[in-house]
Amino acid sequence: MELRAITRLVMMATLFVCIAGGVQAKELTLYEVVNKAIEYYPLLQQRKAEYNASRAHVSTVRSNRFPSLKLHDQVNVGTANSLTGTYFPLGTVVPVAGAIRNDNVSTLASGNIGLAYMEWEAINFGYYGASNNEAIAGEALRSSVFENDKYQVTETVISLYLDLLKQYEYLKIEQNNVQRAKTIFDAINATVVSGLKPGVDSTTARAEYSRARVGYLQAMSNYADARIALANYTGLDTTRIEPDTNLFDKMQTIGESFTSDSISDEHPMLDVYKKQYDLQLADNKVVAHKYLPKVYLLGAASVRGSSITGNSDYSPNLADGLSYSRYNYALGAAFTYNIFDLKHRHDQLVEGKYEAEAKKQALNTRRMELTSLLKQTKEAYDNTVLQLQELPVQVNAARQAYEQQMALYRGGLNTLVDVTNALYAVNKAESSYVIGKDAFLRLMSIRAGINNQLDTFIANFK
């Protein structure tokens, strides 16, 4: 036997013990399930970490205003042969300062230098402010992404919880169906043994009883799958937990207090698109200021020593170059502007304009989709409410018909086919009622979600 089959049998056996009363299961409310998922689900923990990173990034961007202050000190030994001339900076060229000699001198000279250099981009015509606003917009987007994922996880967990409740009620229906089929089989078997009914009735009843048991086992398997699916989101050991069987009555009590015919602009699924649009606008402003002129304040101070004297004579003692003998300092301001940045600025602003328009239209599309979903959900909800007025009547009538057909069969006034048909009718009516209640519960939660009242809605089921 395959491992999967063995696992399923063990799981089904455990469930049977739980349902039969061997283990007392704790009723798990919808409120508890949702909050467990929010605390446990790894995706939401990832979004929290990303949001915290975006908050830290705001502080990082603000520190860009600080000036640059570099300290430098070096001691070296080398030749000191210099020529007059100009060249572009090269990292492999050793710079030499000093007088020009007619010939190269291979005598070594020592020297040292200490340097402090400060550079501050004091004025950049709004670039600092635009960068800060962009970082804040990024933080707001991360927060919105978290809220959107939280909303979607909540909706998924609600759906899984309602599926667990539905499978639980299906299991109870199949359990009752097995009991009815067993009652029919026992009654028919007694009449067959006494010779009042033909043997084929007993065989047919046994087949129906066996079919009911198979249905019950399948219902157990479906219920186990629903529990496992819920455990993946909550991390709970759901084998000892049952759904709130009074959830339907509680939702009926709430009524339509969490329903509306309009879409809130603060809805998480809309807000994430709006924050993307806001971030693009902030990015466009950064581009607009990035290529503007910049004004720098500069400052430097240096001390230097050398073993070469003012007469360009080499000291025989290299240690003479290790002490400082000269100092210099300088203060200044610099203005820089790259004329060709005008082209870069124009091109990037055009690109950003179209990106912003695309994100704006994505927001409008999502709003239109939610509005359409709201209308469809409301229509389905109204229809389901009307069905729920009839379904209990259907269930009661089907149960009464079954009892009547069973009584008639015992009196020899009908056939086994009539009893079996009545049994099917009861099973179908009870299943239809479960489907109707499940649809009502789902539509209630969807409407509350669309109206951005999901947290308040769930709080009613603590």
> Do 331 and 228 share a structural domain?
no
> Residue 63 domain-assigned?
no
First to last CA, the chain: 44
> Do 225 and 347 share a structural domain?
yes
Q: Quote the Cα angle for 159-160-161, to 5°.
A: 90
> Residue 408 domain-assigned?
yes
> Residue 185 domain-assigned?
yes
Identify the residue with better confidence: 173 or 191: 173
Last residue of a domain, one of 270, 303, 336: 336
Mean pLDDT of 239-265: 79
Give 3-state DSSP helix, strand, coil % of the chain, rounded to 5: 65, 15, 20
The mean of the pLDDT values for the chain is: 86
With H, G, I as helix, E, B as strand and everything else as coil, classify residue 338: coil
> Residue 377 domain-assigned?
yes
> Residue 456 domain-assigned?
yes
Angle between helices 416-450 and 199-234 (to 10 degrees): 10
> Do 139 and 30 share a structural domain?
yes
Q: What is the pLDDT of residues 39-82, one digit of tens each?
A: 999 999 999 999 999 999 999 999 988 999 999 999 999 888 88
Q: How far apart are CA 192 and CA 420, in angstroms?
A: 17
Q: Are 23 and 240 in contact (CB under 8 A)?
A: yes
Q: How far apart are CA 256 and CA 444, in angstroms?
A: 8
Q: What is the pLDDT of residues 298-354, one digit of tens each?
A: 999 999 988 887 777 788 888 888 888 889 999 999 999 999 888 889 999 999 999
Burial of 412 (0-12, 13-18, 19+ CB in 10 A): exposed
Among 185-199, 253-267, 308-322, 436-450, the minimum mean pLDDT is found in 185-199
Q: Which of 301, 173, 281, 170 is nearest to 226 (CA)?
A: 170
> Do 98 and 146 share a structural domain?
no
Give the long-range contacts of residues 340-348, CB within 8 A, separation 24 or more: 341/291, 342/291, 344/291, 345/287, 345/288, 345/290, 345/291, 348/287
Q: Are 37 and 233 in contact (CB under 8 A)?
A: yes
> Do 374 and 347 share a structural domain?
yes
> Residue 52 domain-assigned?
no
**Residue-level length of the chain:** 462
Q: What is the pLDDT of residues 81-138, one digit of tens each?
A: 888 887 887 777 788 887 777 888 888 888 899 999 999 999 999 999 999 999 999 9
> Do 366 and 457 share a structural domain?
yes
Burial of 30 (0-12, 13-18, 19+ CB in 10 A): buried
> Do 420 and 330 share a structural domain?
no
The pLDDT value recorded for residue 396 is 94
> Do 282 and 170 share a structural domain?
yes
Mean pLDDT of 249-259: 75
| 121, containing H or E segment | strand 109-123
> Do 429 and 321 share a structural domain?
no
Q: How far is CA 440 from CA 39, 102, 151, 283, 389, in A?
A: 28, 101, 20, 45, 12
Q: What is the pLDDT of residues 358-379, one digit of tens each?
A: 999 999 999 999 999 988 988 9
Last residue of a domain, one of 269, 302, 336: 336
The pLDDT value recorded for residue 85 is 82
The pLDDT value recorded for residue 49 is 95
Which residues constitute the domain of residue 262? 3-40+125-292+339-461
Domain count, the chain: 2
> Do 316 and 172 share a structural domain?
no
Q: How far is CA 10 from CA 13, 100, 230, 240, in A?
A: 5, 95, 19, 15
> Do 280 and 226 share a structural domain?
yes
pLDDT band at 14 (very low <50, low <70, confident <90, very high): very low
Q: Are strands 241-243 and 26-28 parallel, antiparallel or unpaired?
A: parallel
Mean pLDDT of 198-223: 84
> Residue 51 domain-assigned?
no
Q: What is the pLDDT of residues 19-42, one digit of tens each?
A: 444 445 678 899 999 999 999 999
Q: Are 437 and 243 in contact (CB under 8 A)?
A: no
The pLDDT value recorded for residue 197 is 60
What are the φ/ψ torsions at residue 66 (nearest 5 degrees)?
-65, 145
> Residue 450 domain-assigned?
yes
Chain centroid, CA 290 distance in Å = 33
| Residues 6+ away with beta carbon under 8 Å from 223 | 15, 164, 167, 168, 170, 171
Q: Quote the Cα angle for 342-343-346, to 5°.
A: 85
The pLDDT value recorded for residue 167 is 95
Chain centroid, CA 21 distance in Å = 38
The pLDDT value recorded for residue 20 is 42
CATH code of 186's domain? 1.20.1600.10
Q: Are 31 and 462 in contact (CB under 8 A)?
A: yes
Tell me the DSSP string of 402-448: HHHHHHHHHTTSS-HHHHHHHHHHHHHHHHHHHHHHHHHHHHHHHHH
Last residue of a domain, one of 302, 336, 370: 336
The pLDDT value recorded for residue 17 is 42
Model confidence at 146: pLDDT above 80: yes
pLDDT band at 220 (very low <50, low <70, confident <90, very high): very high
Mean pLDDT of 219-226: 93
> Do 152 and 172 share a structural domain?
yes
Q: What is the pLDDT of residues 396-417, one digit of tens each?
A: 999 999 889 888 877 778 877 8
